[in-house]
Amino acid sequence: MAKLKILKIGDSTLRKVCRPVDTVTPRIRTLLDDMIETMRAADGVGLAAPQVGVLRRVVVIETPDEGLIELINPKIIAFSGEQESEEGCLSIPGRWGTTKRPMHVTVRAMNRKGETFDITGSGLLAKAFCHEIDHLDGKLYTDIAIKMHDN
């Protein structure tokens, strides 16, 4: 595994739409492993492939309650409720924003074996699903922030 460089706001890669993964190859599994190591080293909750310069639809998320979640080609298939909370990003260090996101989100994705599954999250996990999937479409939380703050 390798720790990857996290791109920062202003890098044009963060504004590009990612390509889907057709087949889960050893290279995609290595990307997942490297992204997990990178996310943990940066003390993050989630990391999307474009944040490490790879324009593929791959996301990793880890929360204390749900543990590690790997998502390939994630797509939000259902959402409900609303939460207004603080949001940060490893690509935007030292800044936080207040955002409105759904309280409950269901995502359909593939795992590292290429199997399709659905997963539902509430609260922090729902916010992380939305945040990381936005990255795959070239969007940042600052695009929807109600207000921004510095650390």
Q: How far is it, in rounded angstroms, from Cα 83 to Cα 20?
A: 29
Radius of gyration in angstroms for the set of CA atoms belonging to the chain, rounded to a whole number:
14
Whether the CB-CB separation of 66 and 35 falls below 8 Å is answered with: no
Q: How far is it, in rounded angstroms, from Cα 69 to Cα 46?
A: 9
Q: From first to last of the 151 residues of the chain, give the pLDDT tens digit.
A: 789 999 999 999 999 999 999 999 999 999 999 999 999 999 999 999 999 999 999 999 999 999 999 999 999 999 999 999 999 999 999 999 999 999 999 999 999 999 999 999 999 999 999 999 999 999 999 999 999 988 7
The residue assigned the tokens 């995502």 is: 107
Catalytic residue among 37, 84, 87, 132: 132
* The two structure tokens encoding residue 105: 């989100």
Q: How far is it, in rounded angstroms, from Cα 79 to Cα 77?
A: 7
Q: How far is it, in rounded angstroms, from Cα 78 to Cα 122?
A: 12
- What Cα–Cα distance (Å) separates residue 33 from each residue in 48, 52, 101? 12, 13, 28
Q: Where exactly are the structural domains of the chain? A: 12-150
Half-sphere exposure of 24 (CA within 13 A, CB side): 16
CATH code given to domain 12-150: 3.90.45.10
Q: Is 62 a catalytic residue?
A: no
